[in-house]
Chains A and B, each alone.
Chain A
C-alpha cells in the first residue's frame, strides 16, 4: 500500500553517506555488537561480527574508486559494469545466473557511486557456500553477453531520459556539473545518452580489470558464521580478485574544489522548484570533523528538530522537508543543503536557509542546543545496529574512511567532548553564506 509519511525519509544514499559522515559508534555495550578484525586464510583483512540469532549471513565489500574510474568523455561505464555483473557469469547466462541465485535464495546487490563500488550479499546460512561461489563468479568472471548489454543499455537510456524531467535529478546533475567542470564528479554517474549509447564490451572489460583491486577493498561479514567460516567465505568471494593495480590504473583524485558562488536557475515546467545549496566541506580526517558533524546536526541534520526544519517547515510551511549534510566525497568534501518549495515561494525558502547559514557562521549556537544535539547523536547511535545488513554496511563505511576498530567504543565520547567553542570555530571556518553555490530547478518566481 502506498503510505504517506510525515517526514520524508532521507534517501538511501544519504544514509549511506551518513555511515561515513555520521561517524560510527558507541561503546560495545551500547551498540550491542562485538567487532573483530580478522584476516582470511588467503590474507584478506575483514571486520567480523558473529550474530547467530538468525540463520543468515550479510556480506559487504566496498572498493574505493567507483565512478571516479570513468573517463570524462565516457561517463557511465562503471555504473553499467555494476549492472552487468549479474547478467551472466561463468557458464551461466543472465537467466541461468538468476535461476541459480533464486534456487539458493541469495540476494546480491552491486552499486556504483561517485567514489566507490559496493558489493552486498545476503545469504541463507544453509546455502552460504554455493551462494559465495556464485557471487564470486559474478565478480571475477562476468560474461558481458552482447544481448545482455543491449538490454541494460536500453533500460539505462530510458532511465536517463526520464530523469531529464525529474527536478530532483536535474538539480543534482546541474549542481555537480557546475561545481566540478572537467572532472568525473561533474558528470552523471549513470552517464549521458551519448556516452551510454557508445559503451562497448571492451569498455566493460577494461573497467572490470580496474574496479576491484583488493588493496582498495573494505570487507565485512555479519551473521551466523564463526571466525574461521567467515574467513573462508571472504576468500571464496574475493580470493580471485587482483591484489593491486598498476599505479596509473587507479582513479584520478580530484583537487579540493570550491563551487562558484551564486544562483543558477534551470528552467523546468514543474509546480514546485527544487534547490540544492552548497560549498566545500571538511575532510573526514580533519580534526574538526566531529564538531562540524554536530554543528550540521543542529543546522539541518535528520529529524524534525533542526533549525532548517523549524524555520522552513514548522514555522512557515514552506516545504515538506529540508536538510543539510556533510558529503564526504573523496578529495572533494562538501557541505550541502536541499529544499523543495512552490515556485512562488522558493526565494523565501532560500532566504531563510541563507539566513540560517549566516547565523551559524556567526557562532550563534546555545549551550542548550549543543546539549540536545549530543543527547540525540549519542542516544540514537545504537539504532544503526539493529539489523545484520545495516551492521555490515556500517563496518565497511568505517573502514573506508580509516576509522579504528574501536571506533564504536570511543565515538560517543568524541561527540560528548565537543564544546561550544569547537562548534563556533568550525562554523566560522566552514559556513560561508556568500560562497554558496545554488542550483534551482523549476520556474521560481523572482529568481
Chain B
C-alpha cells in the first residue's frame, strides 16, 4: 500500500524500457534487489583491497568489525561518521522457508506481532518509544531471514539494544493482537498480491519452479492458510527460533566498534542461548522436466513471458554464482546488454526484456528472464527471441569487452553503495543471515574479478537449461462477446487497441 496522490517523478509501475526496469511491473522487487545484492556482494573494499583502483581505495574509510558474544550472538559493526546517527539491526536467519508445512505466512505474521508487546513494553509501545526518541523502525521477512531495525541518533544505541533484546525473549501476545494483526496481513496480501495480476503470476511461477523446497511458498502466505494462523503457531515459531545464538547484530553509523561491543555485551549478553540452529530445509530433487504455465487475468494490459531457473546461490557454489551474476549482467545490464540490443533496439520485437539473478540465498537461487512483446508479436515469438539470445550466450560466452564492462560497473556499484550506511548494514546482514561469513563478503570482489568468460559460458550451459526451468505466459482474459451498448466510462476501459499494432 502506498500513498499515491502525489506528483510522481518516475513513471509508475509499468514502464518496460530498460533504464526504468527497476520500477517495472512484474519483477520490481526481484530486479531492485538483484541489483542491490550484486552491489553488496562486492562491497567490502576495505577488507579486500585488490579490486578497487588506488585512488578510490585510498579514500575509502569505512572499517568493518566483527565480534561474537559468549552466548553465540554474532555482530558486525560498520563505522560511518558522516551523520550522527546509527542503523541498528537484528537479523534471524529464519524466514518463510522455515515454516511448518501448512502454516505459510507465519514467519512474516510473527514479525508483525513482535511489535505488539512484552511485559515491560506493552500495547504496541515499541514503535512509539522509538518515535519519541526521534527514531524510525521497521522490519522485514524473506524466505531466508527476518530482520528488525531502527535508525536513530547514535547516542540512543543502548536504548534500542535493550528494547530489541527484550522482545527477543519476552514477547507477550493476546488474542486481540492476533485477530487485528491477522486482518492487517490479509490486507497486506491484498495490496501486494491479490490486487496485482503480475504478483499473482509470480507466485504461480515460484510454486512451479520449486518442486520440493519451501522456496516455492509465498512469503506473505497463502490466503487460506493465513486465515487460520493463531497464537500457538506464532509462539511456536518464536520459541523455536528467536534466541541470541540464532541472531545476527549489525550496527552501522557514527559509532565506535569497542563501544558497540560493550553495549551488546550489556544488553544481549545475558540472554540464554537456545543451542538449536535451524534445521536444513527439504532439498530439491534433480529437476528433470521443463515446466510451462499459462495464466490469464482480465486485469492484464501488457502480456509477457517469464522464465525462472533453479540455480546455485553464492553460499552453495561461489564461483558458479559469480559466473551467473556475469551472465545476468551480460544479458541485461544497461542498454548495451544482449537482450536490449537484440530484443528492444533496432528490429527487436520486445517492448522490454530483462534478466536477473540474486546470489544471496541459503539454498538454491533463482535466475530470471522476462520479455514483453511489441503489439502484434506473440508471446511464443518473443520467447523464441529470448531463447535465441540465451543460446548465443551459451554458444559464444561473453566477450572480453563485456567482461570488462561488467567488472567496471561492479566496481562503481561498490563505491556508490558506500554512500548509504543503511545499504551497507543490509548487505552484511543478508549475507550473514544466509550463512555466509564476513570473509565471504570480503573475498567476493577478488572472486568476482577472477571469473573468466569460460566460466560464465560453462555456468550458462550447465544451469540455464530447460529441465531446470519454468516458463510462464501471462495473458489477458479474452473479454466475453459483449452485447452492444454504451462503454463504461471508467478509466479502466482504454485498451481495445492494445494488440492492434
Q: List residues of chain A with CB under 8 Å of any chain B CB.
A: 1-14, 16-17, 30-33, 51-56, 58, 66-67, 79, 83, 86, 94-95, 98-99, 102-103, 105, 107, 111-116, 118, 122, 124-126, 147, 151-152, 154-156, 158-176, 189-190, 192-193, 224, 266-272, 274, 276, 278, 302-305, 313-323, 325, 327, 329, 334, 336-342, 372, 375-383, 385-389
Distance from A344 Cβ to chain B, minimum over Cβ atoms (Å): 11
Given A32-B83, A272-B194: A379 touches B135 (CB 8 Å cut-off): yes
CB distance A266 to B490 under 8 Å?
yes
| Bound form: Cα–Cα A176–B19 in Å | 28
> For residue B133, which residue of chain A has the nearest CB?
A379
CB distance A54 to B412 under 8 Å?
no
CB distance A320 to B4 under 8 Å?
no
Closest 7 CB pairs of A and B: A379-B134, A317-B183, A105-B412, A114-B7, A111-B9, A162-B14, A272-B190
| Bound form: Cα–Cα A167–B194 in Å | 11
| Bound form: Cα–Cα A160–B140 in Å | 31
Interface presence of B298 (CB below 8 A): yes
Please, which residues of chain B bring their CB within 8 A of the CB of A171?
4-5
Given A269-B299, A272-B194: A386 touches B420 (CB 8 Å cut-off): yes
Interface presence of B174 (CB below 8 A): no
Given A102-B405, A170-B491: A158 touches B14 (CB 8 Å cut-off): yes
Please, which residues of chain A bring their CB within 8 A of the CB of B192?
4
CB distance A86 to B187 under 8 Å?
no
CB distance B151 to A383 under 8 Å?
yes
CB distance B139 to A6 under 8 Å?
yes
| Bound form: Cα–Cα A258–B109 in Å | 41
> Which parts of B255-272 form the interface with A (CB within 8 Å)?
none
Please, which residues of chain B bring their CB within 8 A of the CB of A7?
138
CB distance B151 to A168 under 8 Å?
no
Given A8-B1, A102-B334, A341-B187: A159 touches B12 (CB 8 Å cut-off): yes
| Interface residue from B185, B409, B490 paired with A267 (Cβ < 8 Å) | B490
Interface presence of B382 (CB below 8 A): no
Distance from B500 Cβ to chain A, minimum over Cβ atoms (Å): 11
| Interface residue from B2, B127, B186 paired with A168 (Cβ < 8 Å) | B2
Please, which residues of chain A bring their CB within 8 A of the CB of B358?
1
Please, which residues of chain A bring their CB within 8 A of the CB of B56?
55, 124, 126
| Interface residue from A105, A116, A266 paired with B409 (Cβ < 8 Å) | A105
CB distance A155 to B134 under 8 Å?
no
Given A1-B142, A267-B490, A271-B195: A13 touches B131 (CB 8 Å cut-off): no
| Bound form: Cα–Cα A115–B136 in Å | 29
Interface presence of B15 (CB below 8 A): yes
Please, which residues of chain B bring their CB within 8 A of the CB of A53?
59, 61-62, 80, 82
CB distance B415 to A329 under 8 Å?
no
Interface presence of B351 (CB below 8 A): yes
> Which parts of B285-343 form the interface with A (CB within 8 Å)?
298-302, 334-336, 341
| Bound form: Cα–Cα A156–B5 in Å | 20
| Bound form: Cα–Cα A112–B12 in Å | 12
Please, which residues of chain B bring their CB within 8 A of the CB of A316?
180, 183
| Interface residue from B84, B108, B299, B361 paired with A382 (Cβ < 8 Å) | B84
Query: Assuming A122-B419, A305-B128, what are 15 further A-B pairs, CB within 8 angstroms?
Result: A1-B358, A3-B141, A3-B142, A4-B108, A5-B140, A13-B6, A31-B83, A105-B408, A271-B194, A274-B195, A317-B183, A376-B132, A378-B134, A383-B152, A387-B420
CB distance A164 to B301 under 8 Å?
yes
CB distance B85 to A382 under 8 Å?
yes
| Bound form: Cα–Cα A336–B190 in Å | 22
CB distance B16 to A272 under 8 Å?
no
| Bound form: Cα–Cα A5–B108 in Å | 8
CB distance A155 to B408 under 8 Å?
no
| Bound form: Cα–Cα A32–B253 in Å | 12
| Bound form: Cα–Cα A331–B7 in Å | 14
Select the residue from B6, B131, B135, B254 with max chain A CB neighbours within 10 A: B6
> For residue A170, which residue of chain B has the nearest CB?
B491
Given A2-B29, A320-B1: A155 touches B352 (CB 8 Å cut-off): yes
Please, which residues of chain B bring their CB within 8 A of the CB of A338?
1-5
Please, which residues of chain A bring their CB within 8 A of the CB of B13?
159, 162-163, 166, 169
CB distance A52 to B59 under 8 Å?
yes
CB distance A305 to B127 under 8 Å?
yes
Interface presence of B467 (CB below 8 A): no
| Interface residue from B3, B62, B82, B491 paired with A323 (Cβ < 8 Å) | B3
CB distance A55 to B55 under 8 Å?
yes
Given A9-B2, A98-B336, A163-B13: A329 touches B7 (CB 8 Å cut-off): yes
Proximity string of chain B (414-453) to chain A, C-beta cutoff 8 Å, 1 when within and 0 when not: 0110111110000000100000000000000000000000
| Interface residue from A3, A56, A111 paired with B419 (Cβ < 8 Å) | A56
